């Protein structure tokens, strides 16, 4: 039986990935933590864990039935979680569309045996890992906004000391009228 480590996420556009990498380099000391590769920057909606091919197929079918308008995401917040050693970028006010999409995907995942964290959903993009020392965060005033028009399913593999994410499927979110 084929098992893959999977998660649903928002994929960041390549230009935004590059902007965030440059911003990170400009605002965090070199030894602050291990930078996440530009291609791996994403916003996780639902972590699925190790999933069989059959469960993956079922979850993909359910994802294809989600009808929800796209939304705008404003990345204007940053923080440091010392215990897991994560420096993150997120939004001060998560849009309702993001919260609804994550809730739908997490509920479907839980119904199919993919344990979900008891922690409330905190939308974020991991910028640095292994940041266990106190990290100086940049002053407020940073801001990136982009329109989210789809979500995707990714696999995660670790080999040769590197984590790689590969998009397996993508689903559109229709344009929202007036948003």
What are the residue numbers of the active site? Answer: 42, 124
- What string of DSSP letters covers 46-83? EEEEEEEHHHHHHHHHHHHT-----EEEEE-EEEEETT
Q: How far apart are CA 5 and CA 37, in angstroms?
A: 19
Q: How far apart are CA 17 and CA 84, in angstroms?
A: 23
Q: How far apart are CA 158 and CA 37, in angstroms?
A: 13
Q: How far apart are CA 173 and CA 71, in angstroms?
A: 8
- What string of DSSP letters covers 97-166? HHHHHHHHHHHHHHHTT----SSPP--EEEEEES--S--PPPPS---EEEEE-EEEEEEEEEETTEEEEE
Contact criterion met (CB below 8 Å) for 128 and 32: yes
């Amino acid at each position: 039986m084929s098992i893959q480590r999977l998660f649903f996420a928002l994929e960041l556009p390549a230009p935004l990935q590059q902007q965030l990498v440059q911003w990170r380099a400009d605002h965090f000391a070199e030894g602050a933590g291990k930078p996440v590769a530009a291609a791996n920057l994403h916003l996780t909606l639902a972590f699925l864990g190790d999933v069989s091919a059959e469960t993956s197929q079922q979850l993909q079918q359910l994802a294809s039935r989600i009808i929800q308008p796209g939304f705008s995401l404003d990345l204007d917040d940053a923080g440091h979680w010392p215990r897991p050693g994560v420096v993150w970028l997120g939004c001060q006010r998560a849009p309702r569309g993001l919260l609804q999409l994550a809730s739908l995907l997490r509920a479907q995942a839980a119904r199919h045996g993919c344990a979900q964290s008891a922690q409330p959903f905190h939308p974020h993009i991991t910028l640095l890992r292994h940041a266990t020392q106190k990290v100086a965060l940049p002053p407020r005033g940073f801001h990136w906004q982009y329109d989210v028009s789809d979500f995707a399913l990714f696999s995660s593999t670790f080999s040769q000391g590197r984590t790689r994410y590969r998009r397996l499927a993508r689903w559109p979110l229709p344009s929202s009228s007036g948003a």
